[in-house]
Amino acid sequence: MTASKSSRARNARIGAQASAARNATKGGTAVKNGSPAKSGSPAKSGSAARADGASRTVTRDGGRDPGRAAATRNGAAGRGARVQVAPDNVTQSGPAPWLQLTTFLLALAGLGVSVYLTIAHFTESALVGCSESGLVNCTKVTTSAQSYVFGIPVAVLGLAFYLFAVAIMSPWAWRASRREVHLARIASMVVGIGFVLYLIYAELLVIGSICLYCTSVHAITFVLFVLTAIAAAAWGLTPGAAWKFRFARQLRLAPQPD
């Protein structure tokens, strides 16, 4: 009877110790010889883990990282600066400034001579400094039948031509972005040089004399024709707008910033 009670008491103590050991293991505590051992290091709580992950996310985000965001902006600005360069042979103001100025001054000179010839025609006055005998005979040329074309005095036609030339050869016209302006310039020069060739033929082969003032207008028209042809060959039919088209194409082909 006594032995049976002792056995049950011993079994009860063993069961209690085993239960305590299981509970200590779940709480992170090791049990040795029935006494609690050093407790283990506590694991990170869920909230702490989430906070740490959020901090790493903020660090990876270039938009939230001031240093990386600044570097990104600087890189984009650098790439933009590299592509925003106009072609070498095209400036943002059209052809070379010397060509614009030269053609404009030549057109003004041609207009001045044309005005003088028109005044002399209607006043029937002699041209200053022009001979009236031999090969150079201004009066013979200006009073000949060839001094009229379709019933219009050649001097008046020259005046109208150079009024248009002054406008079309101005720096503002050279910088125009409309293709029609530059096509009109080329077309007017082709018509002008064709008319000059006819007048030279009439003076040398029909009249047999030349006029110094008329010859000066012919020379100015020829130089303007050559310069216009050079501008069309070097800068295209729309020299004032070519840089815009090529510049826009460079921007389209350029890599986009991140």
* Residue 22 domain-assigned (yes or no): yes
Residue 221 domain-assigned?
yes
Same domain, 28 and 129: no
Tokens of 87: 């072609």
Look at residue 73 and tell me if it is in a domain. Answer: no
- 138: in domain: yes
Q: Are residues 213 and 115 in the same domain?
A: yes
Answer whether residue 75 is part of any domain. Answer: no
Please give the mean pLDDT across all residues of the chain. Answer: 74
Residues 185 and 111 in one domain: yes
| Total number of domains constituting the chain | 2
Clarify whether residues 24 and 123 are in a common domain.
no
State the pTM of this model: 0.59
Residue 132, pLDDT score: 76
Domain-embedded: residue 244? yes
Positions of the chain with pLDDT under 50: 1-2, 28-49, 51, 53-55, 57-64, 71, 76-78, 80-92, 242-243, 245, 247, 254, 257-258
CB 114 within 8 A of CB 217: yes
Cβ contacts of residue 210 below 8 Å, gap of 6+?
Answer: 135, 136, 137, 141, 203, 204
Quick one: pLDDT at residue 1?
46
Q: Which domain holds residue 20?
A: 2-33
Q: Are residues 10 and 133 in the same domain?
A: no
180, 240 contact by CB (below 8 A): no
**CATH code at 205?**
1.20.1440.130
